Amino acid sequence: MASCKFPGSLGFQSHTIFSIDSDVMMSTNLPSDKSSTTESSPSMVMLQMIGGTWLSQLIYAAAKLGIADLLKDGPKSSEKLAISSGTHASSLYRALRALSSYGIFKEVEPNCFGLTPLAETLQSGVPGSIRNMAITCGDEYYYYPFGKILYTLQTGKSAFHHFHGIGIFEYLMQHSDSGKCFDEAMTDYVSQMHISFAAAYDFSGVKKVVDVGGGHGTLIKSILKANPAVTGILFDRPSVIEGSSKSIEAAGLAERCEVVGGDFFESLPSGGDVYILSSIIHGWNNEDSARILRNCHRAMVNNGRLLLGELVIPTGNEPFFGKIHDINLMIAGDSGQERTENDFRKLYDMSGFKLTRIIPTQSLGSIVEGVRV
């Protein structure tokens, strides 16, 4: 069967056992059958959770094969998808059937699959795409070190470094294809946080914003476009600056935004009244983070403000993506960590700031505001 009809509804019935927040792409859905959480024993629920390992690899495979892109014009049979993706038809059908049971794709009629809202996030180049993230997290170089989690728990050291013999960023520099996908995955991830960050904070009365480690300027561009009276400085590594300058010019903001290269461990551009680090500090331990923040402290005007865009781990037992991402940082990185409000308060105290408030955004991240003291 080469083509198939698509029913009017994409809806699927499921029960959520692990809801990170209201964002549909951050939920794990189980089929609405006798294995639902309202009826299952703890053992059955645990089996479903253990199966998350298999599910994550199915998502990786679908992303790598570009299945969602193949379905952008409408549902197709598994046989046609197999031909287009170079896969074994029966095996692909079984994979898509399993993914559909979690709301990732939908079998709209026998042997015929279409997109769902979750599947759409695996498309390339669409708003909210996390295809590159799915590929990165499922790829062998990244995925295999997680089998060495006991090493990290027993030693406190990176399993990635133990497995590969080098740190993750050194590895990515040596493997350009993986590095490119990783960079694109991080860009997709932080871009969504940047946009929500700019919308959630009131920049009234601010004169100059310094975006530290701002990449190609997604955040600073959003801030400047929404606040015509504000000027900005985009600061990042010299190797990033060329692309950043082009991005700022293309946005028509070159006259209001200076692009500066350097090392945030050494010094930062001076004179800003707001310094922003979005999705930066979680990559460093407290000592290194405090070093970066002290440089912000030295560079900013009196009574300047520091804004960190980060995942703030809540207290208690509620599910939160930051708690799992913290494990990712522990295994894949060398010194990164996610932090609680109290952790940020201590970090600010170490760096010459007073934490004033935490502002939620429409993304998973929050804005941790501090003032210079």
Pair 106, 245 in one domain: no
Q: Where are the beta strands (DSSP E) in the chain?
A: 14-19, 27-31, 76-77, 106-109, 112-114, 208-212, 231-236, 257-261, 274-278, 305-310, 312-313, 339-340, 353-360, 366-372
Convert the pLDDT of each residue in 237-266 to its tens digit: 998 887 888 899 999 999 999 999 999 999
pLDDT of amino acid 239: 82
What is the number of domains present in the chain?
A: 2
CATH number of domain containing 99: 1.10.10.10
Residue pair 99/62 in contact (Cβ under 8 Å)? The answer is: yes
Closest CA to 277 of 225, 341, 338, 219: 219
Is residue 249 in a domain? Answer: yes
Pair 353, 207 in one domain: yes
Is residue 186 in a domain? Answer: no
Record the pTM. 0.84
Pair 207, 93 in one domain: no
**Residues 13, 19, 24, 25: is their CA dihedral positive or negative?**
negative
Pair 352, 205 in one domain: yes
Convert the pLDDT of each residue in 88-145 to its tens digit: 999 999 999 999 999 999 999 999 999 999 999 999 999 889 999 999 999 999 999 9
From 70, 90, 122, the end of a domain falls on 122
Is residue 348 in a domain? Answer: yes
pLDDT of amino acid 227: 95
Residue pair 103/96 in contact (Cβ under 8 Å)? The answer is: no
Residue pair 218/195 in contact (Cβ under 8 Å)? The answer is: yes
Pair 224, 347 in one domain: yes
Pair 209, 106 in one domain: no
From 122, 147, 178, the end of a domain falls on 122
- Integer Cα distance of 190 and 364 in angstroms: 10
Pair 341, 207 in one domain: yes
Q: Which residues of the chain have pLDDT under 70?
A: 1-39
CATH number of domain containing 285: 3.40.50.150
Pair 227, 314 in one domain: yes
Is residue 319 in a domain? Answer: yes
Residue 181: C-alpha distances to residues 173, 225, 297, 302 (Å)? 12, 29, 34, 41
Is residue 353 in a domain? Answer: yes
Closest CA to 279 of 251, 317, 307, 313: 307
Pair 114, 243 in one domain: no
Q: Which residues are 243's β-sheet partners?
A: none
pLDDT of amino acid 38: 53
Helix (H, G, I), strand (E, B) or coil at 170: helix
pLDDT of amino acid 4: 54
> Is there a catalytic annotation at residue 282?
yes
Residue pair 66/124 in contact (Cβ under 8 Å)? The answer is: yes
pLDDT of amino acid 334: 74
From 122, 147, 166, the end of a domain falls on 122
Is residue 112 in a domain? Answer: yes
Helix (H, G, I), strand (E, B) or coil at 308: strand
Pair 212, 347 in one domain: yes
- Integer Cα distance of 373 and 352 in angstroms: 6
Is residue 349 in a domain? Answer: yes
Is residue 134 in a domain? Answer: no
Residue pair 296/275 in contact (Cβ under 8 Å)? The answer is: yes
Please pick, among 161, 194, 216, 282, the residue that the annotation labels catalytic: 282
- For residue 97, the enclosing domain spans 14-122
Instruction: Say how many Å lie between the first and final Cα of the chain, rounded.
Output: 69
| Residue carrying the six token digits 């930066």 | 280
pLDDT of amino acid 187: 85
Pair 342, 211 in one domain: yes
Q: 296: Cβ–Cβ under 8 A, 6 or more apart, which residues?
A: 210, 212, 268, 275, 277, 306, 351
Pair 75, 209 in one domain: no
pLDDT of amino acid 240: 84
